[in-house]
Amino acid sequence: MSIKPGSETDPQGGVVLTPEQARSRRARNIAIGITVALLAVLFYALTLVKLGGAVANRQI
Amino acid sequence: MSDASYIDGAEAAGAAPRIPVAAPSDYFQLLKPRVMSLVVLTALAGILIAPAPPHPFIVFAALLSIAVGAGASGALNMWYDADIDAVMTRTARRPIPAGRMEPESALAFGSVLSMLSVFTLGFATNWLAAALLAFTIFFYVVIYTMWLKRSTPQNIVIGGAAGALPPMVGYAAATGDIGLASVILFAIIFVWTPPHFWALALMKHDEYGRAGVPMMPNVHGADRTRLEILVYSALLAPLGVAPWLLGFASTVYGAVSIVAGAYLVWLAIDVYRKREGDAARRASLKLFLFSISYLFLLFLIIVGERTLHIVGVV
């Protein structure tokens, strides 16, 4: 992996990712985004299924 | 999104930081998808043998949690066993030994998924099922991977309990209880594990030896392994028929389990008799491959006939 800490292309001392590293990071970020979204949908649907009709019968 | 990432001072001062190049597919490979498919099938059987299976979406969420929990165990196993995986041809192309992923990434991935799967199962079903899933992950990672695998030839016998627990987790998810039927399914997988893995170990004993894993053929020899394969197969065949005898599987299951169990024992006898050369290797390979089909077949029939029963076809 070619990593250039503090190279000319990044005067702030950061690491410049190779195209391969940048591509894999983007793919991982997209996968995490999709997973989190699906998890939210899962918990939303689970809540509806578990509460069922009882949600309308609660005391206010 | 910038292409620059920032590193801490310690890393900047020392060696160049390691930037991962692992793709999502590498993380998926950590979950051992083929093992997951068997876990899903056996857990589904555990759910469907319950007297009153829950809402289909709860079943889906429970299966997803159990599958992800099993996958998390696989990821933690690959984190801990990366040194062993690197010297075995069967596992050398896994993400960590192949150099596509840092071990720490697998550790973090497995740990997060373990917690997520246990809490999701607890929320979706009940906390007995969640506790059983947590115990399954603990048993596979700590008891089997970290302790037994490198220390005793009984590693896969005792460790097999982890692989056998999914039907009990499934049954507990559906009922909040542990029933005899789920214990029988546990026992089938538990007794199935030794002949299955020892048939593989007979073929790969040199690799296990190189990796320092004390499998039965390396410690007690191939002959003792063949005898134990035969004994466990002879125990497994009648145990496989038990779901029919106890009334939670049909006559069709009973007939198939008798025939398949008899064939399994016949293959184990073949392994016992053929001890030299290519014939011995072929006999082990046949038993190894058929043992997978055997387990899939039995659980597939249970799942199939219980599904037909639930939808009212039979």
Who has greater pLDDT, B138 or A50? B138
What would the pLDDT profile of B155-212 be if each residue is shown by its tens digit? 999 999 999 999 999 999 999 999 999 999 999 999 999 999 999 999 988 889 888 8
State the nearest Cα–Cα gap between A56 and chain B, in angstroms: 19
> What's the pLDDT score for residue A15?
81
SS3 content of chain B, % helix, strand, coil (to 5): 75, 0, 20
State the nearest Cα–Cα gap between B124 and chain A, in angstroms: 7
> Domains in chain B, start-ordered, CATH in brackets?
29-178 (1.10.357.140), 179-314 (1.20.120)
Q: Which amino acid is at B218?
A: N
C-beta separation of B170 from B62 below 8 A = yes
Q: Which amino acid is at B154?
A: Q
Chain B CB contacts of A13 under 8 Å are: 6, 12
> What's the pLDDT score for residue A44?
94
Structure-token pair, residue B154: 């009984």
pLDDT beneath 70, residues of chain B: 1-17
Q: Cα–Cα distance between A33 and B25 in angstroms, integer?
A: 15
Structure-token pair, residue B218: 């390396």
Where do the structural domains in chain A lie, given as residue ranges?
Answer: 19-53
Terminal-to-terminal C-alpha distance of chain B = 57
Chain B CB contacts of A8 under 8 Å are: none
Q: Cα–Cα distance between B95 and B118 in angstroms, integer?
A: 25
Bridge partners, residue A16, by sequence: B4
Cα four-point dihedral sign B167, B34, B94, B158 = positive
pLDDT > 90? residue A8: no
> Count of CB atoms within 10 A of residue B195's CB?
28
State the nearest Cα–Cα gap between A35 and chain B, in angstroms: 11
Nearest neighbour of B7 by CB, restricted to A15, A39, A46: A15
Q: Is B170 left (phi over 0), alpha (psi -120 to 50) or beta?
A: alpha
Interface confidence, given as ipTM, is: 0.81
Interface test with B, best of A8, A48, A50 (most B CBs within 10 A): A50
> What's the pLDDT score for residue A6?
43
The region of weakest confidence among A46-50, A54-58, B165-169 is A54-58
